[in-house]
């Protein structure tokens, strides 16, 4: 039995045909172990992997990347970006961008994260990245459990950044792009030392928050920032 592949009917006849092909292929369990190979064997050539970086930090955007790799993928060493040293990530990001059939990177800001919540913001960032791909994908493989709000055949893949080369490539592009964003923001707000912790809730970052309060990059609904905002409101009423 195939996984609960999240399929949504698109408006274009080609996408409808691809959706029907995906439905008809519900006969093998290989899709669990190796989704990318499974869909290639079922005739799909343009398979996009999508992943995000930056769900947990207290500051900065959430960044998503989508990547369509050639087959066979010729980028060695693809794995979950969190398992790579910064230098290796940066080198792989350059190689991925040079060899990919298509890639796109999109950001969702701290203000939108506050408005929508981090899950919705992450899914929207990933959807935006997929929509920006040219050529468009025939199948989208998503890291995690949640489908995207898109009219593309798609499959969420748990631990996808360890199991699918295209998702691993997307995780690397998203992580490298976000790290560079936070390094740039460090120059604008040096008191927080974003270049070191990238917005995560380190001891140094929390101490800077207590000393300086949040800047426009901080997510005011996140624990660690929210308490400062609430304390400020109480002080204002005193």
Binding-site members for a divalent metal cation are 51-52, 143
Q: Distances from the Cα of 215 to the Cαs of 55, 61, 153, 178, 231, in angstroms?
A: 18, 13, 40, 18, 16
Compute the residue count for the chain. 238
Crossing angle of helices 86-99 and 165-188, rounded to 10°: 120
Q: What distance in Å separates the CA atoms of residue 106 and residue 42, rounded to the nearest whole number?
A: 30
The radius of gyration computed from the CA coordinates of the chain, to the nearest angstrom, equals 20
* 48 DSSP β-pair partners: 68, 140
* Residue 211: CB atoms within 10 Å: 9
């Amino acid at each position: 039995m195939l996984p609960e592949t999240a399929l949504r009917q698109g408006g274009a006849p080609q996408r409808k045909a691809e959706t029907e092909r995906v439905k008809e292929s519900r006969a093998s369990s290989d899709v669990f172990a190796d989704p990318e190979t499974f869909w290639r064997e079922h005739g799909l050539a343009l398979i996009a992997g999508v992943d995000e970086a930056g769900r947990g930090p207290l500051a900065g955007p959430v960044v998503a990347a989508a990547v369509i790799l050639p087959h066979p993928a010729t980028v060695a060493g693809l794995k979950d970006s969190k398992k790579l040293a910064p230098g290796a990530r940066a080198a792989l990001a350059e190689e991925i961008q040079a060899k990919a059939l298509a890639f796109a990177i999109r950001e969702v800001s701290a203000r939108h994260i506050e408005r929508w919540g981090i899950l919705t913001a992450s899914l929207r960032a990933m959807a935006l990245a997929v929509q920006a791909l040219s050529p468009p994908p025939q199948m989208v493989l998503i890291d995690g459990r949640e489908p995207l709000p898109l009219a593309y055949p798609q499959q969420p893949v748990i631990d996808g950044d360890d199991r699918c080369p295209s998702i691993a490539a997307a995780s690397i592009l998203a992580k490298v792009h976000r790290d560079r964003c936070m390094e740039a923001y460090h120059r604008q707000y040096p008191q927080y030392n974003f270049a070191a912790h990238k917005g995560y809730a380190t001891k140094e970052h929390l101490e800077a928050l207590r000393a300086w309060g949040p800047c426009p990059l901080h997510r005011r609904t996140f624990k660690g920032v929210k308490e400062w905002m609430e304390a400020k409101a109480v002080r204002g009423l005193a």
